[in-house]
Structure formats: structure tokens, C-alpha cells
Amino acid sequence: MISRRIFASGLLASTATAAWGSAPERSLRPQVRPTGFLIRTIPDAADLIRDANLGGRVGFAVADAVTGEMLEVASPLYPLPPASVAKAVTCAYALDRIGPAHRFRTRVVSDGVLADGRLDGDLWLVGSGDPVFDTDALAGMCAQLTEMGVREVTGRFRVATGALPEIWQIDPEQLPHVGYNPAISALNMNFNRVHFEWERVGEDYTISMDARSASVSPAVQVARMQIAERTTPVYTYSDAESHDAWTVARGALGNAGSRWLPVRRPAAYMAEVFQTLMGERGVRLPAPEYARTAPETALVLVEHSSEPLEDILRGMMLWSTNLTAEVVGLMATQTGGQQPAGLPESGAAMAQWMTDRLGARNVHFVDHSGLGVGSRIRPQDMTRALVAAGPNSRLHNLMKDIPMRDRDGNVIADHPISVVAKTGTLNFVSALAGYATAPSGRELAFAIFCADLERRDAIPEDQLEIPQGTRAYNGAAKSLQQALIERWGTVYA
């Protein structure tokens, strides 16, 4: 049973101002309230939703995670944006199609002959899409090359990019400078972000753009920055054909700071850093040339192997890394026999998989990360997908703990309900889907989606990064999500 302290906190009070959307379009079931004084004091879900008065729409569905019995719903068949909850579907898709033990391999290969430190032939850098590869890993490969005796390369420096389609950005509607909206490639590094840093020196600034990781930070030219005499916009981006051309407003810099910016040429980014790191070891390479694949007869000189896919997905679910979701989603589609040219095509393949395997209807994905607001899932379909996976599944184990909190935001350490779930947040969109264990031990699967798309569409252009009201909206939505989970943990225990 829910502790009386939770009721005292007001999280389940019918007069609470925890925010959500309009009242449900059809009545909630079951109609009969549970018996028992404590349970009778718990507000109906409809009351919680109505009193929230957030605007927009709300939909949820909660079911017994073992039997699949649907326990309570509100607008369960109305498709809403899942935001990063889509990554839970992507996890299941990748585990099914690719397998949990898969490892991404980044290789340096050659069709030449190495003798007395001289490699007579071409040197190839070959990517397989590793989404967690970083500059430290590349530096380690360079060290292995020189340790095996490579001192000179007489042939070309070539880069194989055919393992994945090259995609300029995940969501074209995002601001150009947000680091969570990078390009996608067969060769990814540092989540395809470049580190921009500045410091005031007298009346001017020193600036740098580098491929920073834990131990090295080589400078790059594939992304370049200029300071512009203006106050807004803070950043502008343009494609300069050979590099990413950025400008930053002088009036926004202050004394010092740094920011990660997205890379639009990830293969060129990685190739340049490889050249730099090899040059630091005395091996000079010519300008890179790009091709889809390396010769099948090429000899593997050095190989970097990632962690197993299951561990990579666990990190993706914890940190909600968009690049990881897009890479594994594209690979899952390719493994299924399709060759998608872009994310919408691959998203459609994932939607079809969800329909065929999990019985979903009216599901639509524009990507695999949930960054694009055009994706849609019905709450009932998401809940049924979680039931299909089960409370003892790999998907359950990849989700992160969601702590219950009091009105001041403090974690309630001894809360009788435990939750593992995937969160999803966009401007004026909030979603949560996962599993809740009631005090009795009963496992519940649930999905809660909320979106005020009219308010989202009305965001002024100068507020696109942090719109006024979005933090309050999403914070209030989280309060309601908790109130609904606490209700279910008591009523259906």
C-alpha cells in the first residue's frame, strides 16, 4: 500500500496542480472505484488530468505486464509524439534484428606490402558505424600502427564510407548548432560533435575547434569558427563545401566558455584527425579519398572493436544519445534486407516491424531517436509492446530507474513503487513508458504521452532553443506522470 507520507506530500491530491492535458475523450475503465478507505481517497485518473489543466492532449494505457490485461486507459488510440520513448522501440528492433552480442568494428586495412617500415600500397580507414567511437580509440589505433612498424605510406589514404548512408542531420527542424542533432555516417567520432572553446584576451578572443576526448584534443579544420560583430543570432552555420563554416556573435561570448557543436562531415572529421594523429607519430598521409568499400582482399592491420550492442544500448537508454539510436536503427533496417536512403525510410521500416511483430496500428516513425516531432505512437500500442517484451526481458533491463520524488524534487528513498522506464522530452512534449512494480509485487506496463502541439508550433523563432514555459510544462508533466503511477500502484496492486 502507498505510504500515508506520499498523500501528505500532495502528489495524489485531487487539488494538485501537477500539469497535464485536457480531460480524456472517452471514460476511463474500470468504472467501479476500489474498496477500502485509503484507496477511495485516491483521485480518479480523469480528475488528475482535468485538474492539471495543461492544454494539449494526454493519452495513457496501463496493463498487467504479465497477463496483458489492460487496466486503465485515457485516449489510448490517439497517436501522439513519443519523443525519446521511441528509443525503447529502437532497442527492441535492434536486439531482434542485429542481436545483443554484435560489436562494431573500425579497421585500418591495406592492399599493400609492409617492409622495413614502408607500406607500399593504399591505406584504408574503414568504418562500420560505431556510434560510441571517440578520439581516444582512434589514437589507440594509430599507436598500434606505428608499433607494428608503419613509418611510411607510399600509396593513397582512402576512407570507406559505405556501411551506412551519409545523412546530414537527424532532424532538419532543429536549430543548426544543437549538438544532439549531428550528421550520421559509417565513420562516427565523439558522437559527431566538435568542441568549440573561447577565451577573452584583452579586447579580443582566442578560439579553438578540436576533436576533444579524455586524453587528446587535436585541432581540426573540417569545422571552422569566426567571430561576428553582432549580438544575435548566437550561431550561424553554412556549408562551405570543404568544411563546416560557423560564426558566433561576439556579444554572446562573455569572458570564456565552450560548447559542443554538431559535425556535418563526420567521415572527413575522422579522416582529418587520423591524419593529424599519424602525423604526430611521423607518418605523413596524403589528402583522403572516399569510396564505398575497401578491397575484399585487403589485409587488416589494426582493428578496434566496440562493446557488445547490449551495453551500447544500455548507455543509449541512460543518456538518450540520438546518434546511437539512429545508427542502430539504420543497421537493423539494413539487416532486414532494406537499404534505406534516409531516416524516414528506415523509420517506416521500424514502424512496419512494430506492426508485424507487436500488433501496433497507426504507428509512424520519422527517425529512430524520437527527435523528430512527426513520429506518432498510440499509448495502447506502446503498452502492448512493453507487455510483449515482458518484465524480465532485455528491454526491461536496459531501462533506467525513475525515482519517485516529493513536491520539492527530493528523491523518496523508501518509496514502495519502483519504476524503470524511458523518458522523452521535446518542447511542449513529455512522454514516459516502462514498467512499475507495485508494493504487492505486481508488474505493470504503462505508456504516458502528452503533447501541446499548438503551443509548440507557436514558439517564436528567437525562443526555439529554450522556449518560454517549456521547462515548467515538462516539469509539471513529470509530476502528473508520477501521480498516475502512484495511483496505479495502489488501485491495481
> pLDDT of 236-285, one tens digit each?
999 999 999 999 999 999 999 999 999 999 999 999 999 999 999 999 99
Please check whether residues 477 and 414 belong to one and the same domain.
yes
**Is pLDDT above 50 for 27?**
no
d(Cα 240, Cα 192) in Å, to the nearest integer?
18
**Is pLDDT above 90 for 306?**
yes
d(Cα 79, Cα 381) in Å, to the nearest integer?
9
d(Cα 132, Cα 275) in Å, to the nearest integer?
20
Domain that holds residue 424: 4-99+310-491
Residue 69: φ, ψ to 5°:
-60, 125
Q: How confident is the model at residue 189 (pLDDT cuts 50, 70, 90)?
A: very high
d(Cα 136, Cα 65) in Å, to the nearest integer?
42
Percentage, residues of the chain above pLDDT 90: 85
Residue-level pLDDT at 227: 97
Q: What is the pLDDT of residues 81-108, one digit of tens each?
A: 999 999 999 999 999 999 999 999 999 9
Chain centroid offset of residue 400 CA? 14
Q: How confident is the model at residue 339 (pLDDT cuts 50, 70, 90)?
A: very high
Cβ burial, residue 284 (10 Å; 0-12/13-18/19+): exposed
- Match 525513475 to its residue by C-alpha cell: 402
d(Cα 412, Cα 306) in Å, to the nearest integer?
37
Q: How confident is the model at residue 143 (pLDDT cuts 50, 70, 90)?
A: very high
Cβ burial, residue 464 (10 Å; 0-12/13-18/19+): middle
Q: Which three cell numbers stand for residue 400?
A: 533506467
Residue 262: φ, ψ to 5°:
-70, 150
Please check whether residues 227 and 338 belong to one and the same domain.
no
Residue-level pLDDT at 331: 98
φ/ψ bin of 429: left (φ > 0), alpha (ψ from -120 to 50), beta (otherwise): beta
Residue-level pLDDT at 32: 40
For residue 220, give the CATH number of its domain: 3.50.80.20
Domain boundary among 306, 334, 353: 306
Residue-level pLDDT at 226: 97
d(Cα 111, Cα 113) in Å, to the nearest integer?
7
Q: Tell me which of 465 and 19 has the higher pLDDT.
A: 465
Q: Which three cell numbers stand for residue 262?
A: 554538431
Q: What is the pLDDT of residues 158-186, one digit of tens each?
A: 999 999 999 999 999 999 999 999 999 99
Residue-level pLDDT at 41: 76
Query: Is the C-alpha dihedral spanning 294, 298, 303, 307 positive or negative?
Result: positive
Residue-level pLDDT at 38: 61
- Order of strands, sheet of 157-160, starting from the edge strand that comes earlier in the sequence: 289-291, 157-160, 123-126, 105-110, 299-305
Please check whether residues 134 and 88 belong to one and the same domain.
no
SS3 state of residue 252: helix
Please check whether residues 407 and 481 belong to one and the same domain.
yes
Please check whether residues 252 and 146 belong to one and the same domain.
yes
Residue-level pLDDT at 176: 94
Please check whether residues 279 and 320 belong to one and the same domain.
no
Residue-level pLDDT at 36: 59
The number of residues making up the chain comes to 493
- Count of CB atoms situated within 10 Å of the CB of 262: 26
Beta bridge partners of 106: 304
Q: How confident is the model at residue 464 (pLDDT cuts 50, 70, 90)?
A: confident
For residue 454, give the CATH number of its domain: 3.40.710.10
Helix (H) or strand (E) run with residue 123 in it: strand 123-126
**Is pLDDT above 90 for 7?**
no
Domain boundary among 261, 283, 306: 306
Domain boundary among 281, 306, 331: 306
Q: Are strands 256-262 and 299-305 parallel, antiparallel or unpaired?
A: unpaired
d(Cα 352, Cα 358) in Å, to the nearest integer?
10
Q: How confident is the model at residue 13 (pLDDT cuts 50, 70, 90)?
A: very low
Residue among 279, 299, 272 at smallest CA distance from 153: 279
Please check whether residues 302 and 431 belong to one and the same domain.
no
Please check whether residues 274 and 326 belong to one and the same domain.
no
Please check whether residues 293 and 326 belong to one and the same domain.
no
Cβ burial, residue 413 (10 Å; 0-12/13-18/19+): exposed
Q: How confident is the model at residue 201 (pLDDT cuts 50, 70, 90)?
A: very high
Please check whether residues 126 and 230 belong to one and the same domain.
yes
Please check whether residues 336 and 283 belong to one and the same domain.
no
Q: What is the pLDDT of residues 397-451, one digit of tens each?
A: 999 999 999 988 899 999 999 999 999 999 999 999 999 999 999 999 999 999 9
Give how many domains the chain has, as a whole number.
2
**Is pLDDT above 90 for 222?**
yes
**Is pLDDT above 70 for 328?**
yes
Please check whether residues 126 and 172 belong to one and the same domain.
yes
Q: Which three cell numbers stand for residue 107?
A: 579497421
Q: How confident is the model at residue 9 (pLDDT cuts 50, 70, 90)?
A: very low
Angle at 406 between CA 400 and CA 409, to 5 degrees: 70
Over residues 321-340, mean pLDDT: 98
SS3 state of residue 225: strand
Q: Tell me which of 421 and 25 has the higher pLDDT.
A: 421
Q: Which three cell numbers stand for residue 65?
A: 505486464
Over residues 376-384, mean pLDDT: 98
